[in-house]
Amino acid sequence: MLKIHLDIGQVEMKDGKPLITGNRLGIDNLLLQLRGKESASPKHASLPGADGPNPQLSSGPKSLVVVNQGSYVDLAGTQHVNLEDGAWEMVWRSNARAGALIVAFHLAEEVKRNDAAIPKGRFFLTFPLWTSESLLDLRDRKATRKKKLPRLLKGMRVRFA
């Protein structure tokens, strides 16, 4: 099961962190059940891996169930997002230490709140994946760099204009 909250809007970086500014569209309580043994229906939304130039890197399209359509609030009240023909896949790029979990849908109608919008049509979400080994390696590399950082910063002079 995946419980998803989407926060959509203009993104700016502040202090090294993404910050959503301006009008926002928050879609809450989207709940998906991924079915690992069932292939997706023939009319599933196209997936970038299985339906792309390197389908051998994909797990193939798998079935999913939208347990709860997401919702958002606009001036007319609570609105529901109509996601159809859902499917999911895992994609592992050649010689890469990471992959992606991708869920795809057809969005039956535009979802809009003020200036923030998702147009109708194909809609997909991507989540990064790592193997246990690559994740441990990345954590070790990060820890090593953090240890070196104070020594590197000590020798630097920073000038602010």
Q: What is the pLDDT along the chain (161 residues), one digit of tens a residue?
A: 999 998 887 788 888 888 877 778 889 999 999 998 888 888 899 999 998 998 999 999 999 999 999 999 988 899 999 999 999 999 987 777 889 999 999 998 999 888 888 899 998 899 998 888 888 888 888 888 888 777 766 766 655 55
CA distances from 43 to 37, 47, 80 (A): 18, 12, 22
CA distance 68 to 96: 34
CA distance 113 to 32: 23
CA distance 127 to 90: 10
- Burial of 31 per CB tally in 10 Å (0-12, 13-18, 19+): middle
* Domain-located, residue 41: yes
pTM of structure: 0.75
Which domain range does residue 123 map to?
A: 2-131
Q: What type of residue is 126? A: T
* Total domains in the fold of the chain: 1
* Domain-located, residue 125: yes
* Domain-located, residue 136: no
